[in-house]
Amino acid sequence: MRRIVVASLLLLSVARAFACSGPQNQPGQTIDVNFAENSSSIDGESILSLVNWSVDLRLKHPILESSSIVGFAAEKEKNSLALANDRANNVNHLLDSFGIHATSASVIGKVYTPMLPGSTYEPTGTRAEVTLVPGCPNDCCDGQ
């Protein structure tokens, strides 16, 4: 009887080890922060939306594995690459001011070229795209 109990415990622990054999973090969550043309200022409504979204995400997932902030500017905007970088940095500073920090972070700016020019479904180039990737304790999201 004792051998059966020991064997059962051993099998359960081996199955548990294989249940999380590597990093298994949650999928990233993304939000867009829109800007006025030729501006890198974040309006009050966008600030509130970003802060509510990020705080809700942190309440559900206290660990943030990584973050990515990509600022975009349309080709027609003045100094578009510098503007894109300013947008990304302003969003990053806002998240920092509210204590939203990830283990690894990427903050970049890009000039936006639409894939489908004139499409109503294409996102605008006057935005910053924020992606936060929740992490899990011990890189294993098995509830342990």
Domains, in order of start, for the chain? 23-138 (3.30.1330.60)
pTM over 0.95: no
Q: 31 phi and psi, to 5 degrees?
A: -140, 150
Report residue 80 as tokens. Answer: 């578009």
Q: Are 7 and 14 in contact (CB under 8 A)?
A: no
Distance between the two ends of the chain, CA-based, in angstroms? 29
pLDDT in the model for residue 101: 80
Please give the radius of gyration of the chain, using alpha carbons only, rounded to the nearest integer. Answer: 21
Low-confidence ranges of the chain (pLDDT < 50): 5-18, 22, 144
Distance in angstroms (rounded) separating the CA atoms of residues 92 and 111: 18
CA-nearest of 71, 84, 66, 72 to 29 is 66
Helices (H), 28-106: 44-60, 80-97
pLDDT in the model for residue 103: 78
Report residue 37 as tokens. Answer: 């043309």
Let me know the angle formed at the C-alpha of 113 by 111 and 116, rounded to the nearest 5 degrees. Answer: 160
Distance in angstroms (rounded) separating the CA atoms of residues 101 and 71: 18
3-state secondary structure at position 117? coil
pLDDT in the model for residue 4: 59
